[in-house]
């Protein structure tokens, strides 16, 4: 059998397998991300079977998956929404950073992974899965709820925080000194401010560069622009992901909306490959030893996200059931935690156990998140039989 | 009346108001143009008991029903001192012979002595529409006349 034939068969089998997993996830109303990770683990190093024929393609495809994930994250909110969100809810955003980055950093520190490992794990435990949160809010009919703007505001802040965090992470992973790190922070803040300013002032002009009535032209210009910018930023050591993300922010209005509609299926395909490749690179036998740590992080960071949402919703004048719903909607961690762990593992600057811990953690949180969002209200009502039973 | 407009980043806008009875009602206007009717739970005004997706036509028909009723009530009150004058509302159904035709084609005034005093469309009121006003399915006509005249007008609007 030729190499092309082998690669096609492997790739086809993997993608078909992902379809079955996604179908299963949909059947039980869950995010497919943990299933993709498990799928990757099953065939990874030390797993059931070796898949080497498709390696060349899957490596590039998973890079494209990260680029599309971040491009879509940037497209999700307009520059104006980001700026007003930042102005209105920076307190909740900061609380979110402090409460949720600290447990990851502390765990990495205790495990002896040093400052780089701590920075990576801080990101992994900090960032909520906006895709799971959005799905939960839609599925449970909570878009019209009063606490929802508070949830979205936290997600918007996390979005911006990623724009600061990713460049720093890239520089640190590349092994630059403390001063170099500070320069990276300065440079990234400058870059984000510039992009936001350009998007606010000239958003329409930026959009017209890629926009087109013709769907084919539009698709090719979007993908072309995203890959070009990602490649250039990678060459400049700014991280491929950040370039795509900033491009997403710079594109606004109807163009951004159309672009996200058009790119969603492509993102789904390439992101699925990214999750599988990440799973493939992780040895499944390395998971059980870190299970205890992952479970501990799960308990702590579920409570910290609940507290974040609770506080944010309380500030918005929402009563306690709404506060609990807001907190639970934020509990899920998913795609971006894996993106962060993936960047770290690819750089080789962190120990292999980190990938195992991040994988286990995301597996737990991606499953727990939607369950928490669904059950938080009934649990609270059951725990608190006070005035309701009296009036009944 | 205090209609609260809350931006929902990445989703759209929520517009709602709190009724006298303490319920929150409103709509979520999605970025892609979809509309959802939201009604809060009786025991938890922060949560929604229902979020009902509405098509453009359904939303405007619902708007007409709510707004049209107000106008009819108001006119009925104004006409209460003239016995025999009745106010009624007519919907232009899809498939009505006057869908997409000027209102004058129905010759309502000549044939039934009924006057159409307003047309509600997409929640907007068109007061005193002229005969060349083109009717559309989903429009709500507010008409004033005698009982018999209004019955005849209803028949004309339905069957031509």
- pLDDT band for position B58 (50/70/90)? confident
Range A351-366 average pLDDT:
91
Range A263-282 average pLDDT:
90
- pLDDT at residue A99 is higher than 90: yes
In A312-337, which positions are buried (b, 16+ CB within 10 angstroms) versus exposed (e)? Answer: bbbbbebeebbbbbbbbbbbbbbbbb
User: DSSP strand E in A240-354: where?
Assistant: none
Of A274-283, A381-390, B46-55, the range with the lowest mean pLDDT is A381-390
> Does A144 contact B16 at a Cβ distance shorter than 8 Å?
yes
Give the separation between CA A37 and CA A356, rounded to whole angstroms.
11
- CATH number (3.30.70.100, 3.90.15.10, 3.40.190.10, 3.30.70.1450) of B59-159 reads 3.30.70.1450
Who wins on pLDDT, A239 or A9? A9
- pLDDT at residue B40 is higher than 50: yes
> Does B11 contact A143 at a Cβ distance shorter than 8 Å?
yes
Helix (H) or strand (E) holding B16: strand B12-18
- pLDDT band for position B140 (50/70/90)? confident
Q: What mean pLDDT value characterizes chain A?
A: 86
In tens, the pLDDT along B102-119 reads: 988 888 888 898 989 888
Range A223-246 average pLDDT:
82
What pLDDT score was predicted for residue A280? 83
- List the beta bridge partners of residue B16: B4, B26
- pLDDT band for position A238 (50/70/90)? low
CATH of the domain at A138: 1.20.1530.20
> Does A144 contact B26 at a Cβ distance shorter than 8 Å?
yes
- pLDDT at residue A45 is higher than 70: no
- Going by their DSSP bridges, the two strands B24-30 and B12-18 should be labelled as antiparallel
What pLDDT score was predicted for residue A125? 96
- pLDDT at residue A153 is higher than 50: yes
> What's the whole-model pTM score?
0.80
Range B19-29 average pLDDT:
90
Residue A390 counted as domain residue:
no
What pLDDT score was predicted for residue A268? 92
Q: Which residues span the domain enclosing A109?
A: 3-380
Q: How many beta-carbon pairs under 8 angstroms link A with B?
A: 67
Interface test with A, best of B10, B13, B28, B37 (most A CBs within 10 A): B10
Taking the Cβ of residue A144 and every Cβ of chain B, the question of whether any pair is shorter than 8 Å is answered with yes
The percentage of residues in chain A with a pLDDT greater than 90, rounded to a whole number, is: 38
Residue A389 counted as domain residue:
no
> Does A319 contact B44 at a Cβ distance shorter than 8 Å?
yes
What pLDDT score was predicted for residue A203? 74
Q: How far is B61 from chain A (nearest CA, A)?
A: 21
Other beta carbons within 10 angstroms of residue A55's beta carbon come to: 14
Residue A387 counted as domain residue:
no
Cβ(A29)–Cβ(A370) below 8 Å: yes
What pLDDT score was predicted for residue A194? 82
Range A109-121 average pLDDT:
92
Range A35-45 average pLDDT:
82
Annotated domain spans of chain B: 4-54, 59-159
Is residue B29 classed as helix, strand or coil in its secondary structure? strand
What pLDDT score was predicted for residue A390? 38
Interface test with A, best of B8, B9, B42, B50 (most A CBs within 10 A): B9
Residue A385 counted as domain residue:
no
- pLDDT at residue A391 is higher than 60: no
Distances (CA, A) of A274 to A341, B93, B106: 12, 52, 64
Cβ(A322)–Cβ(A146) below 8 Å: yes
- pLDDT at residue A119 is higher than 90: yes
Q: Both tokens of residue A371? A: 């369950």
Residues of chain B neighbouring A135 (CB-CB closer than 8 A): none
Range B25-54 average pLDDT:
90
Q: Count of domains in chain A? A: 1
Who wins on pLDDT, A149 or B85? A149
CB-closest option in B10, B31, B38 to A144 = B38
The single residue listed with the structure tokens 């971006």 is A336
What pLDDT score was predicted for residue A47? 53
Q: How far is B57 from chain A (nearest CA, A)?
A: 21
Q: How far is B46 from chain A (nearest CA, A)?
A: 5
Q: How far is B8 from chain A (nearest CA, A)?
A: 6
């Amino acid at each position: 059998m030729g190499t092309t034939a082998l690669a096609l068969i492997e790739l086809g089998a993997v993608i078909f397998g992902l379809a079955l997993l996604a179908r299963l996830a949909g059947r039980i109303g869950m995010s497919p991300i943990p299933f993709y990770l498990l799928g990757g683990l099953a065939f990874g190093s030390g797993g059931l079977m070796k898949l080497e024929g498709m390696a060349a393609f899957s490596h590039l495809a998973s890079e494209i998956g990260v680029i599309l994930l971040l491009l879509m994250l940037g497209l999700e909110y307009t520059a104006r929404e980001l700026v007003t969100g930042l102005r209105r809810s920076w307190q909740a955003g900061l609380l979110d950073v402090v409460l949720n980055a600290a447990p990851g950093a502390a765990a990495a520190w205790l495990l002896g992974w040093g400052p780089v490992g701590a920075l990576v794990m801080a990101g992994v435990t900090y960032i909520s899965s906006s895709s799971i949160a959005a799905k939960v809010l839609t599925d449970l009919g909570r878009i019209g709820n009063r606490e929802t703007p508070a949830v979205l505001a936290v997600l918007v802040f996390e979005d911006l925080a990623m724009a600061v965090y990713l460049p720093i992470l890239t520089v640190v992973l590349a092994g630059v000194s403390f001063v170099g790190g500070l320069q990276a922070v300065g440079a990234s803040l400058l870059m984000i401010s510039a992009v936001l300013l350009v998007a606010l002032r000239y958003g329409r002009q930026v959009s017209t560069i890629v926009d087109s009535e013709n769907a084919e032209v539009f698709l090719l210009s979007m993908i072309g622009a995203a890959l070009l910018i990602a490649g250039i930023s990678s060459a400049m050591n700014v991280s491929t992901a950040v370039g795509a993300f900033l491009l997403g922010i710079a594109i606004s209005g109807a163009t951004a909306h159309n672009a996200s509609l058009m790119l969603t299926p492509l993102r789904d395909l390439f992101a699925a490959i990214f999750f599988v490749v990440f799973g493939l690179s992780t040895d499944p036998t390395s998971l059980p030893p870190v299970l205890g740590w992952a479970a501990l992080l799960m308990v702590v960071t579920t409570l910290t996200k609940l507290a974040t949402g609770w506080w944010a919703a309380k500030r918005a004048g929402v009563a306690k059931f709404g506060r609990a719903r807001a907190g639970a909607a934020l509990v899920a961690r998913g795609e971006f935690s894996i993106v962060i762990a993936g960047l770290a593992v690819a750089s080789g600057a962190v120990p292999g156990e980190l990938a195992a811990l991040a994988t286990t953690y995301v597996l737990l949180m991606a499953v727990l998140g939607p369950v928490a969002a669904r059950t938080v209200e009934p649990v609270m009502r059951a725990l608190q039989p006070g005035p309701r039973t009296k009036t009944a | 009346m205090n209609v609260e407009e809350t931006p929902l980043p990445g989703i759209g806008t929520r517009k709602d108001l709190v009724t006298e009875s303490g319920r929150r009602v409103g709509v979520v206007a999605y970025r892609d143009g979809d509309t959802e009717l939201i009604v809060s739970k009786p025991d938890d005004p922060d949560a929604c008991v229902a979020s009902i997706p509405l098509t453009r036509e359904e939303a405007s028909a619902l708007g007409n029903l709510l707004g049209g009723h107000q106008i009819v009530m108001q006119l009925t009150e104004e006409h209460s001192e003239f016995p025999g004058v009745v106010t009624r509302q007519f919907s232009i159904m899809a498939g009505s012979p006057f869908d997409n035709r000027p209102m004058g084609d129905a010759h309502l005034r000549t044939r039934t002595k009924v006057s159409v005093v307003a047309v509600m469309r997409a929640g907007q009121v068109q007061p005193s529409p002229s005969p060349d006003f083109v009717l559309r399915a989903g429009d709500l006509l507010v008409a004033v006349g005698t009982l018999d005249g209004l019955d005849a007008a209803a028949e004309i609007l339905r069957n031509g």
